[in-house]
């Protein structure tokens, strides 16, 4: 090694030592705070108006404030906010980002307290194309199961290309910069979609996070609007005493193997689940759209997947999660006879599709591919007709549970299973799962 190399190496080592002792470099502010994920909304690419479901958002934003209410699962003494432009081709400039505490749960958008959110100490920031943006740590006491209101001002014209379509929450877009306002004024645009906000992280020592990846049943397609009545919301109430947060990585129209109204589960697992701080266990409730979309308006020319393809997809999720020490709980697919028969999505159900569901459920329960299993099929089915959802739990479309069904799902889970899997240190191993 020559003299110049020795000098350069010494400088590098010295810089590293200096950085380690500096509280502002290499993320040293995180060393005294353990962050866990308390809320997420999985990013989707915005579709055009020709799709069966309208996007329900403006195509462009300019000189407007977006305000969104979010209910966290666990609270903490610090928070960080993540915003996503995952599907955008152009940058999104933000100015005056704030987080607000509502006056009450009945008045989510009347704010009692407003705190500025910064990015590298600045109140303006840019979400680059295809990227996410993480805020500075913000000292703010956030209660368990409480609501936060995120507001941001978009000064420059931008095409909206990333959203979460079904937020089950009325959110607002107002003219001008109203991010600091306790109450929005002027004409308001209402949307139930989520725009750009994709994650909330809280500082909380010793807590863990349970993630759920799924489709519209998990996303809460028929849960009451503005009531936080998804099955994951009910589950968050049950797990709070265990210091376990619950995050929802459901996307309405999501599929395991193929892209649907969002990216396929295997491609988004890392982004939406495994990269999130504190995640120790994962519930997988996927496959019904892979089985039922073929032959419908969604996929008129697509063939049914075979059972081996579905098994391979689920095994891949398990392997990727185990590789990062995350345990996986498989969930059986609920009954769906008669689903969506009086809608434009007819042919969603058939006897052949139902038989494939039953075969997959049998494999989920008996293959030993998962660390634990939740039998949602058993919890939700009608005891008088096991291929149909229980009328007491049916939202009316014979596919999605209503609020009572969502509560039954959450309270039908053995909490011991979730607690045991969250504390289990998973070692990566290849499981055939046959």
What is the H or E stretch that residue 340 is in?
none
Residue 329 has pLDDT above 90, yes or no: yes
Which of 11-20, 175-184, 200-209, 326-335 shows the lowest per-residue confidence on average (mean pLDDT)? 11-20
Strand partners of residue 158 = 61
Per-residue pLDDT tens digits for 265-310: 999 999 999 999 999 999 999 999 999 999 999 999 999 999 999 9
Which of 109-113, 203-207, 249-253, 368-372 shows the lowest per-residue confidence on average (mean pLDDT)? 109-113
Give the model's pLDDT for residue 26.
Answer: 35
Give the model's pLDDT for residue 273.
Answer: 98
3-state secondary structure of 65: strand
List all residues 6 or more positions away from 149 whose beta carbon is below 8 Å from its beta carbon: 67, 68, 69, 70, 99, 100, 101, 102, 108, 109, 111
Helix axes 403-411, 231-239, angle to 10 degrees: 40
Number of other residues whose CB lies within 10 A of the CB of residue 28:
13
Give the model's pLDDT for residue 162.
Answer: 98
Q: Is the pTM of this model over 0.85?
A: yes
Closest by CA to 265, choosing from 273, 255, 275, is 255
User: With bands split at pLDDT 50, 70 and 90, how would you rate the model's confidence at 422?
Assistant: confident
In order, the DSSP letters of 185-208 are -S-EEEESSB-SEEEEEEE-TT-E
User: How many angstroms separate the CA atoms of 367 and 361, rounded?
Assistant: 10
Closest by CA to 127, choosing from 69, 97, 88, 179, is 88
| CA torsion angle 383 386 387 388 (round to 10) | 0
Segment 27-55 shows an average pLDDT of 84
**Cα-only R_g, the chain:** 23
Cβ-based burial of 173 (10 A; exposed 0-12, middle 13-18, buried ≥19)? buried
Segment 189-209 shows an average pLDDT of 98
Residue 343 has pLDDT above 90, yes or no: no
Give the model's pLDDT for residue 259.
Answer: 96
Give the model's pLDDT for residue 10.
Answer: 46
Per-residue pLDDT tens digits for 75-99: 999 999 999 999 999 999 999 999 9
User: With bands split at pLDDT 50, 70 and 90, how would you rate the model's confidence at 426?
Assistant: low
């Amino acid at each position: 090694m020559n003299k110049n190399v020795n000098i350069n190496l010494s400088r590098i080592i010295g810089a590293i030592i200096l950085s380690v002792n500096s509280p502002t470099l290499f993320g040293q502010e995180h060393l005294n705070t353990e962050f866990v994920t308390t809320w997420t909304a999985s990013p989707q690419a915005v579709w055009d108006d020709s799709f069966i479901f309208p996007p329900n958002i403006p195509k462009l934003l300019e000189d407007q404030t977006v305000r969104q209410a979010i209910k966290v699962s666990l609270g903490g003494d610090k928070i960080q906010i993540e915003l996503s432009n995952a599907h955008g081709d152009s940058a999104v400039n933000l100015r005056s980002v704030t987080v607000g505490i509502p006056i009450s749960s009945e008045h989510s958008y009347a704010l009692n307290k407003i705190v500025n959110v910064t990015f590298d100490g600045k109140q303006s920031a840019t979400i680059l194309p295809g990227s996410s943006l993480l805020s500075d740590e913000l000292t703010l006491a956030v209660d368990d199961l409480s609501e936060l209101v995120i507001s941001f001002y978009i000064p420059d014209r931008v095409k909206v290309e990333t959203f979460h379509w079904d937020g089950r929450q009325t959110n607002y877009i107002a003219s001008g910069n109203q991010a600091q306002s306790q109450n929005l004024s002027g004409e308001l645009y209402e949307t139930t979609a989520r725009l750009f906000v994709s994650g909330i992280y809280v500082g909380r020592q010793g807590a863990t996070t349970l993630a759920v990846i799924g489709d519209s049943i998990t996303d809460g397609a028929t849960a009451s609007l503005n009531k936080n009545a998804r099955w994951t919301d009910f589950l968050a109430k049950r797990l709070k005493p265990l210091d376990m947060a619950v995050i929802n990585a459901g996307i309405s129209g999501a599929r395991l193997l193929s892209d649907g109204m969002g990216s396929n589960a295997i491609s988004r697992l890392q982004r939406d689940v495994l990269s999130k701080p504190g995640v120790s266990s994962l519930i997988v409730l996927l496959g019904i759209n892979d089985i039922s979309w073929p032959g419908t308006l969604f996929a008129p020319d697509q063939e049914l997947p075979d059972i081996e393809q579905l098994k391979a997809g689920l095994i891949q999720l398990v392997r990727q999660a185990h590789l990062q020490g995350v345990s996986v709980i498989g969930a059986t697919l609920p009954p769906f006879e008669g689903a969506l028969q009086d809608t434009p999505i007819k042919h969603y159900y058939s006897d052949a599709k139902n038989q494939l569901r039953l075969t997959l459920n049998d494999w989920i329960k008996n293959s030993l591919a998962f660390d634990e299993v939740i039998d949602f099929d058993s919890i939700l089915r009608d005891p008088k007709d096991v291929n149909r959802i229980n009328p007491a739990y049916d939202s009316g479309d014979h596919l999605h549970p209503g609020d009572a069904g969502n509560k039954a799902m959450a309270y039908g889970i053995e909490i011991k299973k979730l607690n045991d899997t969250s504390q289990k240190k998973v070692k990566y191993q290849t499981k055939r799962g046959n």
